[in-house]
């Protein structure tokens, strides 16, 4: 599991560099997320996002959201402090059942806004200049409306809140707590503290009061216990044999559940703590000796009641399959065009294939071009014979080749003379 921490404002890459160099601050941009996912091991399929962020740039935020959704990883998201503005879009990259928050975290969704309008400022604002600025402001307002609609559409799709509730909350531009976030479907639950809590014990009471209360407590409990044992047909506590269910996980780990029959249920006492994956894919979560969650096989393909498929997950699956189908159709078209081109091409002979193979082995097209471009320096005027080391040249003044040519000429002359 790889942990992705988003603890700074969401900014563009250029703004991030400027913040680092000029102000000693930092930001989170799309490039950071892309490099984070690319650096993950091939067998690591889980991204655990931790958010404490005020939001920031809409373009970068949407790019990060899309990158996470298209990563193919199992995404879990926990809000550790603040989750506002575009940070809430990144939060929704995880499915509802894997969106959590610390108890004291807070959230804020609001209408998108500009820090300052883009206008042409003049020393003297004539009527023409004012009208030009009005047109520019209208374009910016239309863009903000489009951005607002896009955010609302995603909120409606990935939460349980209605559009009217979301519109009203975005207009307020105020913080809400974790309880409101759960009710609206931004998160599924808050995380419990892991540190031990102090409990009131008898040692906090004065000694005399403690002694009296302890005697009374033991006496009352003893009488109740005796009545319960008698109803069970037992005489003493040692005769009682407690039963527990032992569940064996897929990896062989055993989980003990205080239940005599039926399937384990959320709220049952169990040990040890941890995450247990059964053979059928069901996951049982145990925290502080209590079963806190049971995730059916399929991981999110059912709702909290386990009866109906999650509509949002189905929509996402349909969109993914549609996109994959379009890509396959494009590939089929390309292959058909290649096949058609090959059908119309001339078939090479065996000699041609052998020649091409040898050219490829020698160096391919660059080697062939070099050979064709080369020129011979041989001509009749620069031809000469060299001594081969024979002693004939040293004694007769001619080489063996010259002697052979002379003898052939003499023989030819003799034959012509004989014929006459």
Distance CA(53)–CA(28), nearest Å, equals: 10
Q: Is 135 in the same domain as 230?
A: no
Structural domain for 212, as ranges: 205-241
Measured CA to CA, the distance from residue 241 to residue 294 in angstroms comes to 28
209, 158: one domain = no
Q: In the 8-state DSSP scheme, what is residue 197?
A: P
Same structural domain, 153 and 231:
no
The DSSP call for residue 310 is -
Residues 99 and 237 in one domain: no
pTM tops 0.75, yes or no: no
Summarised one tens digit per residue, pLDDT across range 334-350 is 887 777 777 666 666 77
Strands 290-295 and 74-84: unpaired
What are the C-alpha distances in Å from 369 to residues 33, 325, 372, 374, 378? Answer: 47, 44, 5, 9, 21
Let me know if residue 403 belongs to a domain: no
What is the pLDDT, as a whole number, of residue 314?
Answer: 76
Beta strand 106-108 with 74-84: parallel, antiparallel or unpaired? parallel
The structure tokens listed for 213 are 């209360």
178 and 210 part of one domain: no
Query: Domain check: are 89 and 222 in the same one?
Result: no
Give the tens place of pLDDT for each residue, 105-157.
999 999 998 877 776 655 577 788 778 888 888 888 888 999 999 999 999 99
Q: 68 with 75: CB under 8 angstroms?
A: yes
CATH code for the domain of 33: 3.90.226.10
Residue 129's pLDDT is what?
79
Question: Residue 224 domain-assigned?
Answer: yes
Q: Which residues of the chain have pLDDT under 50?
A: 198-207, 210, 213-222, 237-238, 241-242, 300-308, 390, 392
Nearest to 73 by CA among 39, 47, 91: 47
DSSP 98-158: GEEEETT-EEE------SS------SS--HHHHHHHHHHHHHHHHHHHHHHHHHHHHHHHH
User: Considering its fold, how many domains does the chain have in total?
Assistant: 2
Q: Using CA atoms, how far apart are residues 185 and 179, in angstroms rounded to an integer?
A: 10
Q: Please tell me the distance from the alpha carbon of residue 213 to that of residue 210, in angstroms, as a whole number.
A: 5
Residue 98 sits in the same domain as residue 24: yes
| Phi, psi dihedrals of residue 168, rounded to the nearest 5° | -65, -40
pLDDT at residue 400 in the model: 75
Rounded distance between C-alpha atoms, residue 58 and residue 279, angstroms: 43
Looking at the structure, tell me whether residues 169 and 214 fall in a common domain: no
Residue with tokens 């807070």: 106
Q: Does 164 share its domain with 217?
A: no
Kindly state whether residues 122 and 217 are assigned to the same domain.
Answer: no
Task: Based on the fold, state whether residues 40 and 176 are members of the same structural domain.
Answer: yes
- pLDDT in the model for residue 57: 92
Cis ω for the linkage preceding 377 (within 30 of 0): no
């Amino acid at each position: 599991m790889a942990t992705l921490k988003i603890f700074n404002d969401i900014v563009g890459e250029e703004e991030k560099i400027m913040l680092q160099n000029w102000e000693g601050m930092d930001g989170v941009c799309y490039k950071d997320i892309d490099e984070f996912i690319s650096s993950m091991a091939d067998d690591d399929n889980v991204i655990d996002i931790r958010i404490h962020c005020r939001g920031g740039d809409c373009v970068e935020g949407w790019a990060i959201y899309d990158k996470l959704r298209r990563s193919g990883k199992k995404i879990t998201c926990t809000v550790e402090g603040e989750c506002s503005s575009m940070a809430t879009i990144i939060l929704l990259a995880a499915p509802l059942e894997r969106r959590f928050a610390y108890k004291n975290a807070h959230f804020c969704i609001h209408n998108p806004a500009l820090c300052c309008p883009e206008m042409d400022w003049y020393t003297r604002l004539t009527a023409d200049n004012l009208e030009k600025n009005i047109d520019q402001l209208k374009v910016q307002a239309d863009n903000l409306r489009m951005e607002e609609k896009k955010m609302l559409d995603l909120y409606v799709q990935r939460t349980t809140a209605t559009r009217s509730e979301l519109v009203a909350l975005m207009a307020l531009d105020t913080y809400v707590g974790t309880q409101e976030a759960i009710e609206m479907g931004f998160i599924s639950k808050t995380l419990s503290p892991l540190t031990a809590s102090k409990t009131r014990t008898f040692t906090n009471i004065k000694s005399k009061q403690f002694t009296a209360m302890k005697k009374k407590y033991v006496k009352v409990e003893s009488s109740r216990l005796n009545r319960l044992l008698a109803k069970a047909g037992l005489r003493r506590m040692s005769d009682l044999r407690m039963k527990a269910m032992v569940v064996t996980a897929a990896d062989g780990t055993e989980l003990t559940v205080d239940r005599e029959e039926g399937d384990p249920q959320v709220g049952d006492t169990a040990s040890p703590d941890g995450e247990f994956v059964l053979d059928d894919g069901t996951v049982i979560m145990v925290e502080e000796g209590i079963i806190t969650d049971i995730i059916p096989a399929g991981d999110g393909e059912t709702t909290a009641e386990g009866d109906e498929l999650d509509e949002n997950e189905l929509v996402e699956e349909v969109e993914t399959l549609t996109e994959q189908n379009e890509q396959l159709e494009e590939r089929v078209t390309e292959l058909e065009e290649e096949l058609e081109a090959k059908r119309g091409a001339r078939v090479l002979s065996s000699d041609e294939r052998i020649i091409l193979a040898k050219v490829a082995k020698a160096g391919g097209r660059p080697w062939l071009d070099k050979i064709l471009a080369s020129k011979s320096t041989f001509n009749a005027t620069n031809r000469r014979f060299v001594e081969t080391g024979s002693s004939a040249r040293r004694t007769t003044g001619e080489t063996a080749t010259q002697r052979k040519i002379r003898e052939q000429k003499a023989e030819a002359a003799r034959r012509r003379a004989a014929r006459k």
